C-alpha cells in the first residue's frame, strides 16, 4: 500500500506549526532538526518544511518560492464536521477566507489561504456527501 504524505513549504516553521495546530487541531508528531515538523491528526501525515523565500525546489525550477498568495494546481481539502467553527478558528489563527461559504448539493465549502499563501478548502459533507452527485 502506498502512504500519502502531504508536504507544505513554509518560511517560518514555528508560525506554521502554530497555524495548523490552532486552525485545524493537528498535533506535532516528530521533529527533525529546525526545518521539518510532522503534523498528525489528518488521514495522512502533513510535513511542514522550512524553505526560505527565493529558494527553488530544484535546479531546473523556473520560479523561486514566494509566500504571497499564489495558485497551484494541487491543494489540500480538509473535511470537518462543523465548518463554521473551523473557519472561525482558521481565521483567528491567520487564514484568509477568500469567498463566502458555499452551499453545494453535497454539503458546504470554504475556500481559504493559510498565512504562507497556500490555498486550501474546508469541506463539510451533508447527507450522502459526494455520492449525492452520482445519482446512485
CA 16 to CA 29: how far, in whole Å?
A: 14
Annotated domain spans of the chain: 6-52+69-133
Domain 6-52+69-133 coded CATH 3.10.180.10: yes
Q: Which residue has the cell 464536521?
A: 81
pLDDT tens by residue, 51-86: 999 998 888 888 889 999 998 888 999 999 999 999
Cα 89 to the center of its chain, rounded Å:
14
CA 122 to CA 102: how far, in whole Å?
A: 11
Sequence-distant (≥ 6) Cβ neighbours of residue 43 within 8 angstroms = none
pLDDT of residue 136: 62
pLDDT of residue 43: 95
- Specify whether the CB–CB gap between 15 and 71 falls below 8 A: no
Give the pTM.
0.91
Sequence-distant (≥ 6) Cβ neighbours of residue 34 within 8 angstroms = 13, 50
pLDDT tens by residue, 5-21: 999 999 999 999 999 99
Amino acid at each position: 500500500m502506498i502512504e500519502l504524505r502531504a508536504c507544505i513549504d513554509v518560511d517560518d516553521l514555528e508560525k506554521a506549526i502554530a497555524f495548523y495546530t490552532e486552525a485545524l487541531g493537528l498535533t506535532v508528531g516528530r521533529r527533525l532538526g529546525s526545518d521539518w515538523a510532522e503534523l498528525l491528526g489528518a488521514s495522512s501525515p502533513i510535513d511542514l518544511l522550512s524553505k526560505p523565500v527565493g529558494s527553488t525546489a530544484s535546479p531546473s525550477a523556473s520560479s523561486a518560492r514566494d509566500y504571497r498568495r499564489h495558485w497551484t494546481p494541487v491543494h489540500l481539502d480538509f473535511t470537518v464536521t462543523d465548518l463554521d467553527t473551523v473557519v472561525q478558528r482558521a481565521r483567528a489563527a491567520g487564514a484568509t477566507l477568500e469567498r463566502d461559504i458555499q452551499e453545494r448539493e453535497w454539503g458546504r465549502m470554504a475556500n481559504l489561504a493559510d498565512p504562507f499563501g497556500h490555498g486550501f478548502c474546508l469541506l463539510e459533507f451533508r447527507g450522502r456527501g459526494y455520492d449525492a452527485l452520482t445519482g446512485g
